[in-house]
Structure 1
Amino acid sequence: MVSTDNTFIRQGLLAIQNKQYRELYDQAIARIRQDVADAPAYFVLAKISADHNNHAKALELFEKASALAPENAYCQAYYAQTLTLSGDQIKAKHQADRCAGLKIEDHHIADMLGVIYTRTGFHELAVPWFKKSVALNPNVANYHYNLGASLQFIGDFDGANAAYTACLDLDTTHYRALASLAQLTKQAPSSPLLTRLKAAFSRTTGDADAQLHLGHAVAKCLEDAGDYPDSLNWLHKAKASKHGAISAVNFNDIMAGLKTPSTDPINSGIQESPIFVVGLPRTGTTLVDRILGSHSQVYSAGELSLFGNLIKQAAKTPSNLTLDSDTVAAAANFNSETFKQIGREYLALTQELSRGAARIIDKMPLNFLYCGLIHQALPNARIIALRRNPMDSCLSNYRQLLTTQQAYY
């Protein structure tokens, strides 16, 4: 008999929060010995694996729990979340859709679904779930922040302002919400928000992430006021703590490997021609994407991590980085059948995203790193590489608060 009762899952999540791993692990194993189809036991083992950074095992176990308990919101939502963390955004979107079809009355699961939809690029689908999480539990500041971020993304600035304000009413130290307020409107030189941001920056010395967000917000206010020298000084201050951090990515080795001459494109027989728009961030990729996407037979699928993930899966390298020197070295030795399979999988996984159009656009800027490999796997693909004046590119990226969740930025 398949067990789908959530009691053990909730107890397990609490025990994991308290780092009671050994006892919980033993309980889960005992449950599986009694019933090999015990979904909550696999769920708990998956969460333990995730907590110990064994992401591949966590994904495997969450997938099993999901298959055993298709009506269990915990099993479905956590599997979708793990897919997003592994970079498989297309599969994560499909999994989130399945979960969204269930009866969700847990505020945490509702918020989780919203986050998954934002990570997969569907903010319009995220908003209703964030609104539901707020309705189910209005006392969690971060639920209001998540709602505000998605409302801001879809252009509802009044709604975003209300959500960020509600967040700060619950937690005056929520620096992301405070910093986000600066992005909603042009700030006047005498803006009281500027005073609040500077005070918050002073209070967060030692917190590199807080300094980054708050400092960028101060710089934005000063730029709005036309004080460009001081704005640039605040960008320096914002990035100072992060500047000394060691990158997890060895770009010298990666670039050296990618420059290795490749063989001629493979005649894979694949006729479909996806369009890749690549380049450094802030070089015009979004503008070109919108121009092309206005054509009736072209649909923009957004910034997909799919191609890089397929290369990583085929390389079978052990690190949790999508692209590293070992993966580049492994890809250099792919045979023709491996490239053909990567091409077929890419087209199959993106077919639904085309919305019936003849071509899709994959607008992930960092795919410039994969141009040679795209040429091998999808010889009929069109690659549009954006180049901008180097100084303009550097300054524009420096002014942009890029995600710190991806080491490549």
Structure 2
Amino acid sequence: MVTNVGEDNSKNHIKIDDIKRALQAGESDNAISLCQRVLENPKDTQEKIEAYYMLAVAQRTKGLIDEATETLKTLIAADPNHARAHQENGYLFLSTDNKPSAAAAFAKATRLNPALLSSWQKLAPLYAELNHSAGERFASQQIAYLLQLPVEIRGARDLMYEGKLGLADSVCRRFLQNHKHHAEAMLLLGEIGIKLKLYHEAEFLLESCVEIHPTHEAARAEYVQLLSKLGKFEQAKLQAEQLLNEHPSNHQYLAAKAGAMVGIGEVEPAIELYQQIIGDRNDLPGIQLLLGHAYKANGNIEQAIAAYQQAYKIRPDYGDAFWSLANTKTYRFTDEELTLMQTQLDKIDIEQDDKAHLEFALAKAYEDRKRFDTAFSYYQKGNASKNQRSHYSQVKVSEQVEAQKSVFTADYFKTYQDLGDQSPDPIFIVGLPRAGSTLLEQILASHSQVDGTMELHNVLGLAARLRNSKSGYPKIVAELDNEYFARFGKQFIADTRCYRQGAAFFIDKMPNNFMHIGLIKSILPKAKIIDARRDPIACCFSGYKQLFAEGQEFSYDLDNLIHYYQSYLSLMDHWNSVLPGYVLKVQHEDVIDDLEGQVRRLLDFCQLPFEASCLDFHKTKRTIKTPSSEQVRQPINSSAREQWKHFEAQLTPLITAFGAK
């Protein structure tokens, strides 16, 4: 139910466990008193939230329905994703015989925490009474699934959904020690690994699970999602097809296959799959959203907009639909849409992801209307919503940068030069997000000898694998047998072939690869690396305005942005010192001012002949999945160059750090 948030050294401080014991003993008055004393001076936010939750439980058990209702309003406002708070709301609605509202509350609780058995057990009979046969059937299936799980795994699953990942991981590993290769435990440990961003370990677990238990659907479905997250779309497609062999009309598996197909550039057949799903069910906002993304990637912006609009018409609080409209960078919201977004944002029980998406969308809407103060207030709110769940650590990033410098020295490159695979195929574009990398990619991909791909995860994946070694990364690189360098390089070329269309060269536009230039040089010494630069204030503010699908956690706080940008500059200075001439720096503003001169400079660096098509980059038809997709389909312009100056008063930290030109 609720765990102790930790011991307190003060003898007078009430502990959460004291309240738990009072509740378990049926001492509602004592529990209420203890909760109120904790709330007078809580140690931290987590203790305050747990105290509010137990206060609501105690008030309900004592029959204080109105008081419990008000307590839950306060709790949900502080933590909209508190599953047990919504479950408590369900109990309160049941006590007043409000069955439709009770069903909605229990359903919300199970969306937030699918391991809440008691909510499912209330939902099934409620749906039966409300003649919701599909809901009753699904709830009954979930009850059966949870009941057949070992108690330890059901408890660990609950802990995972409650965000207690370390404890869930420990419980799961302890269970696996005595039940080796247990399918549900392997699956759960993989899911926990994904939430902890231990992707390589999670991939190994899920791959092992489907090999040992080839008929376990849930494990294979989770494996498909992880492969797509890692950019391994060809493998994801094959795994999705295995699921579809047994369940050819399953919407989840059809959507998974379509998503993988978009990843490898098979956009038109992916769109057909999404349309097939919509033909069966036209009430699925998530599918409309994915359809919109596919249209956008293919350059069909009008169809993308229509799909996004349909998504929010199905679910008016679907924040991602509004943000996706804003993220086209060209869409302008109507007054009616502005009102609708604000109405949804004002709902007390709005989910955190929807809240952040709506705040970023409203910020963009008000910026377009030149209401800059209002726009910035929404950018602040949206970033604060995201930053609360961010795990960015300035100390950790600084340590990573210094570790790269300490291993990849000039002496290292003299010792290990030219051991890697000699293929000249890859062109890496690195830097910070929103620095103009998509424009450089589009210019190069307009050349007949260059394939544009996407932000590939392969180098990051290799770094993650090496990080799990005994010595850790990057230290392990200097301890590898020489044969590994060419092996890793060959593997990179082989694994990325599925993203290419047959040209001699191809682009990997993962910006975060700037951290791994030493590794790239070690395994692919003839690769080209381009550093996309932009005015630091413009770049950082553009990142602050962008709600990224995942990662880039530094972007949700101005101080973190400054630290990350300065870390990037420091490391790039190091690479340029120990690898002179290996990286070409291209300044975004120079490309705007002198397109042809910079295009010729780019092509010369990549040892490619000049082609006029690179100047007409906006005419090139290709799949683009980054936020700048619509911008690079237009001729070069400088409209975004000084947008930050509308917010000059609010950007003092950036101006102080980097100086305004």
TM-score > 0.5, shorter chain as reference: yes
Distance in 2, Cα, partners of 1:181 & 1:126? 20
- 1:187 maps to what in 2? 332
Pick closer, same or farther for the CA change 1:300–1:187 going to 2, 3 Å: closer
1:382 Cα shift?
0.8
Among candidates 210, 216, 227, match of residue 354 of structure 2: 210
Deviates more, 1:253-262 or 1:173-182: 173-182
Pairing 1:61–2:206 present: no
Pick closer, same or farther for the CA change 1:276–1:181 going to 2, 3 Å: closer
- 2:473 maps to what in 1? 327
Q: 1:378-389 alignment to 2 at 5 Å?
A: 378-389=524-535
- 1:21 maps to what in 2? 149
Among candidates 285, 293, 296, match of residue 149 of structure 1: 293
Distance in 2, Cα, partners of 1:408 & 1:346? 28
SS in 2 for 1:295: coil
SS in 2 for 1:396: helix
Quick check: 1:283–1:388 contact (8 Å CA) kept in 2? Answer: yes
Pick closer, same or farther for the CA change 1:351–1:330 going to 2, 3 Å: same
Structure 1 residue runs of 5 or longer lacking an equivalent are 1-9, 26-40, 319-324
- 1:95 maps to what in 2? 238
1:217 Cα shift?
0.7
Quick check: 1:304–1:362 contact (8 Å CA) kept in 2? Answer: yes
Among candidates 423, 427, 439, match of residue 272 of structure 1: 423
1:370 Cα shift?
0.7
SS in 1 for 2:422: coil
Quick check: 1:300–1:361 contact (8 Å CA) kept in 2? Answer: yes
Quick check: 2:240–2:256 contact (8 Å CA) kept in 1? Answer: no
Distance in 2, Cα, partners of 1:64 & 1:228? 57
Pairing 1:50–2:190 present: yes
CA RMSD of aligned residues (A): 3.6
Pick closer, same or farther for the CA change 1:245–1:175 going to 2, 3 Å: closer
Deviates more, 1:137-146 or 1:367-376: 137-146
SS in 2 for 1:372: helix
Greater relative CO, 1 or 2 (CA 8 Å, sep 6+): 1
- 1:38 maps to what in 2? none
Distance in 2, Cα, partners of 1:228 & 1:140? 35
SS in 2 for 1:187: coil
Pairing 1:290–2:448 present: no
SS in 1 for 2:248: coil
- 1:29 maps to what in 2? none
Distance in 1, Cα, partners of 2:342 & 2:319? 11
Quick check: 1:59–1:83 contact (8 Å CA) kept in 2? Answer: no
SS in 1 for 2:516: helix
1:43 Cα shift?
6.9
Q: Which amino acid aligns with 1:255?
A: V
- 1:306 maps to what in 2? 458
Among candidates 279, 282, 289, match of residue 135 of structure 1: 279
TM-score (norm: length of structure 1): 0.78
Distance in 2, Cα, partners of 1:246 & 1:304? 23
Alignment deviations for residues 151-199 of structure 1 (CA, whole Å, 9 cap, x no partner): 23333334334333433343232221233344555426x6221122222
Deviates more, 1:308-317 or 1:325-334: 325-334
1:118 Cα shift?
4.6
Quick check: 2:420–2:487 contact (8 Å CA) kept in 1? Answer: no
1:291 Cα shift?
1.2
1:371 Cα shift?
0.6
* Percent of paired sites with the same residue: 25
Computing the radius of gyration from Cα coordinates, the structure with the larger value is: 2
Quick check: 1:107–1:137 contact (8 Å CA) kept in 2? Answer: no
- 1:34 maps to what in 2? none
Distance in 2, Cα, partners of 1:228 & 1:151? 31
Alignment deviations for residues 1-26 of structure 1 (CA, whole Å, 9 cap, x no partner): xxxxxxxxx9998469637422899x
Pairing 1:247–2:395 present: no
Distance in 2, Cα, partners of 1:330 & 1:13? 48
Q: Which amino acid aligns with 1:209?
A: D
1:367 Cα shift?
0.8
Pick closer, same or farther for the CA change 1:240–1:141 going to 2, 3 Å: same
Pick closer, same or farther for the CA change 1:78–1:124 going to 2, 3 Å: farther
Alignment deviations for residues 25-82 of structure 1 (CA, whole Å, 9 cap, x no partner): 9xxxxxxxxxxxxxxx98766544434547232222124555xx7xx99886554333
1:240 Cα shift?
1.8
Pick closer, same or farther for the CA change 1:19–1:138 going to 2, 3 Å: farther
Distance in 2, Cα, partners of 1:169 & 1:186? 17
Pick closer, same or farther for the CA change 1:228–1:198 going to 2, 3 Å: same
Pairing 1:361–2:504 present: no
Q: Which amino acid aligns with 1:238?
A: G
1:286 Cα shift?
0.9
1:134 Cα shift?
1.9
Quick check: 2:233–2:260 contact (8 Å CA) kept in 1? Answer: no
Alignment deviations for residues 61-109 of structure 1 (CA, whole Å, 9 cap, x no partner): 124555xx7xx99886554333234x25255355258559857211221
1:285 Cα shift?
0.9
1:269 Cα shift?
6.4
Structure 2 residue runs of 5 or longer lacking an equivalent are 1-137, 154-180, 194-200, 556-661
1:342 Cα shift?
1.0
Alignment deviations for residues 106-129 of structure 1 (CA, whole Å, 9 cap, x no partner): 122112223334556654453222
Pick closer, same or farther for the CA change 1:139–1:353 going to 2, 3 Å: closer
Deviates more, 1:277-286 or 1:335-344: 335-344
